[in-house]
């Protein structure tokens, strides 16, 4: 077990800066999710921990030890990739035990650890099969199993679920969460899927263009987004953003005008779809209603401002109607228009 830290870490490819001054501490036993759009540097950060990429500046420590110059196999980490990376000609048992065998671990010990990992993952009946005889979900379990048998100080996951279909993804997501809770191994989990980030992470680090936007628990990141980017990235459907102007303690937006406690100026107002309800604050035209079973996603238009709301599916609005709405003013997010940083907390 170990904690892990990035201190002033930078990564450049030639003149191109990918990560600049990354500072992040991941606690012992913690599952930290790195989330952000494609190309923001998540895999690069993970590969630097693993030692698969050099770092251009700063230092990375695992359990207090600087690992900058240690080769991957000396870092006591195990990595699970999106592509599984199993050896096709080896059985599941051989795949699971291969890393230990290469390190010269005794056969009896390898068998014990492989059986234990297979037990934890429910793949005992598959041990004699080859990877091509497994489903995608089973292959991913073997890939996770290979990390478990190593009993490393840190697990690194790079989008391990993205090759699975939607249903299997939800199931495997819960399995990895449970596994991490059981083993307590410090883990860094990379994804671009904000639902995965929210459901799996003890804490989430939101990255954009190689820079940290916010670090916090899922609840903190959802309820107190630090800026417009985080506000839009976390939550489905995404937060509504409206232009706003504050003058004389009044906030006006294209949809509504309410008393305001912020100083005069241009702002961006964020309203989560789940914080819009039927009411009498303003009226909106219903463009489209998308029922998805347990709720309906309702697309609205008020003075050319588009809004998305989530309603109970038993509400009776229909496309083409005009309906009365209210928003919960306590739950509004207010961002400075120029800096895009939050003013609301
Ligand atoms: N070997 C390389 N040489 C030059 N640029 C690279 C190299 N590897 C990655 N990059 C660039 O670094 C940036 C970050 O890449 P990275 O793979 O870390 O993104 P990511 O956040 O993991 O994205 P994704 O969600 O698509 O996997 C990208 O702009 C990518 O083009
Ligand atoms: Mg990646």
Give the CATH number, domain containing residue 117: 3.40.50.300
Clarify whether residues 114 and 257 are in a common domain.
no
Atom of ligand 1 nearest to the CA of 159: 27
- Residues 39, 87, single domain; the answer is yes
Q: Are residues 228 and 315 in the same domain?
A: no
Show the domain range for 329: 241-336
Confidence at residue 314, expressed as pLDDT on a 0 to 100 scale: 86
Q: 273 with 228, same domain? A: no
What pLDDT score does 344 carry?
65
Low-confidence ranges of the chain (pLDDT < 50): none
Rounded Cα gap, residues 90 and 87, in angstroms? 6
The confidence score (pLDDT) of residue 82 equals 82
Domain harbouring 270, CATH code: 2.40.50.140
Examine the domain organization and report whether 225 and 253 are in the same domain.
no
Distance 207 CA to ligand 2 centre (A): 12
Same domain, 188 and 250: no
Report the pLDDT value the prediction gives residue 345, as an integer from 0 to 100: 52
Number of structural domains found in the chain: 2
Are 226 and 264 within one domain? no
Residues 215 and 207: beta-carbon distance below 8 Å: no
Task: Tell me if the bond preceding 79 is cis, omega within 30° of 0.
Answer: no
Residue owning the nearest CA to atom 27 of ligand 1? 38
Of the ligands numbered here, which is closest to the C-alpha atom of 35? Answer: 1
Alpha carbon separation from 219 to 12, 34, 35, 195, 336 (Å, rounded): 33, 15, 15, 12, 22
Q: Report how far ligand 1's centroid is from the alpha carbon of 43 (Å).
A: 7
Using a 6 Å CB cutoff, which residues line ligand 1?
13, 18, 36, 38-44, 192
Q: For residue 45, how far is its CA from the centre of ligand 1 (angstroms)?
A: 10
Nearest CA to ligand 1 atom 19: 39
pTM equals: 0.92
pLDDT digits (tens, 9 = 90+) for 291-301: 999 999 999 99
Per-residue model confidence (pLDDT) at position 288: 96
What tens digit of pLDDT does each residue of 179-196 get?
A: 999 999 999 999 999 999
Pair of tokens at residue 76: 């006591």
Report if residue 345 sits inside a domain.
no
Cα of 129 from ligand 1 centre, angstroms: 35
How far away, in angstroms, is 333 Cα from ligand 2 center? 30
Which protein residues have their CB within 5 A of the ion that is ligand 2? Answer: 43
Span from the CA of 39 to the centroid of ligand 2 (angstroms): 7
227 and 330, same domain (yes or no)? no
Candidates 33, 41, 55, 163: which one to mutate for ligand 1, based on the most atoms within 8 Å of Cβ?
41
Q: What is the pLDDT of residue 64?
A: 94
Ligand nearest to the CA of 40: 1
SS3 of the chain: CCCEEEEEEEEEECCEEEEEEEEEEECCCCEEEEECCCCCCHHHHHHHHHCCCCCCEEEEEECCEECCCCCHHHCCEEEEECCCCCCCCCCHHHHHHHHHHHCCCCHHHHHHHHHHHHHHHCCHHHCCCCHHHCCHHHHHHHHHHHHHHHCCCEEEEECCCCCCCHHHHHHHHHHHHHHHHHHCCEEEEEECCHHHHHHHCCEEEEEECCEEEEEECHHHHHHCCCEHHHHHHCCCCCCEEEEEEEECCEEECCCCEEECCCCCEEEEEEECHHHEEEEEEEEEEEEEEEECCCCEEEEEEECCEEEEEEECCCCCCCCCCEEEEEECHHHCEEEECCCCEECCC
174 and 278, same structural domain? no
């Amino acid at each position: 077990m170990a904690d892990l830290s990035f201190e002033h870490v930078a990564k450049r490819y030639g003149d191109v800066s990918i990560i600049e001054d990354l500072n992040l501490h991941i606690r012992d036993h913690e599952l930290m999710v790195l989330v952000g759009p494609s190309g923001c540097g998540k895999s690069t950060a993970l590969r630097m921990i693993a030692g698969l990429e050099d770092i251009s500046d700063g230092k990375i420590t695992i359990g207090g030890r600087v690992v900058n110059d240690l080769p991957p196999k000396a870092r006591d980490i195990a990595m699970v990739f999106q592509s599984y990376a199993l050896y096709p000609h080896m059985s599941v048992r051989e795949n699971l035990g291969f890393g230990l065998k290469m390190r010269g671990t005794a056969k009896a010990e390898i068998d014990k650890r492989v059986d234990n990992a297979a037990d934890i993952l429910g793949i005992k009946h598959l041990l004699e099969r080859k990877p091509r005889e497994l489903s995608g979900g089973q292959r991913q379990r073997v890939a996770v199993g290979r990390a478990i048998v190593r009993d490393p100080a840190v697990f690194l996951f790079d989008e391990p679920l993205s090759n699975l279909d939607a249903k299997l993804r939800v199931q495997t997501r819960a399995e990895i969460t449970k596994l991490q809770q059981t083993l307590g191994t410090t883990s860094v989990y990379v994804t671009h899927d904000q639902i995965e980030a929210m459901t799996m992470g003890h804490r989430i680090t939101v990255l954009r263009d190689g820079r940290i936007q916010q670090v916090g628990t899922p609840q903190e990141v959802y309820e107190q987004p630090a800026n417009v980017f985080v506000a839009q990235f976390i939550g489905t459907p995404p937060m509504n953003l409206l232009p706003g102007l504050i003058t004389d303690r009044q906030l006006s937006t294209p949809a509504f005008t309410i008393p305001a406690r912020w100083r005069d100026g241009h702002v961006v107002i964020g309203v989560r779809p789940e914080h819009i309800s039927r009411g009498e604050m303003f009226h909106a035209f219903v463009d489209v209603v998308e029922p998805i079973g347990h709720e309906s996603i309702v697309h609205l238009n008020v003075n050319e401002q588009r809004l998305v709301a989530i309603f109970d599916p038993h509400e009776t609005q229909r496309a083409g109607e005009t309906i009365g709405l209210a928003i919960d003013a306590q739950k509004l997010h207010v961002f400075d228009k120029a800096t895009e940083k939050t003013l609301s907390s």
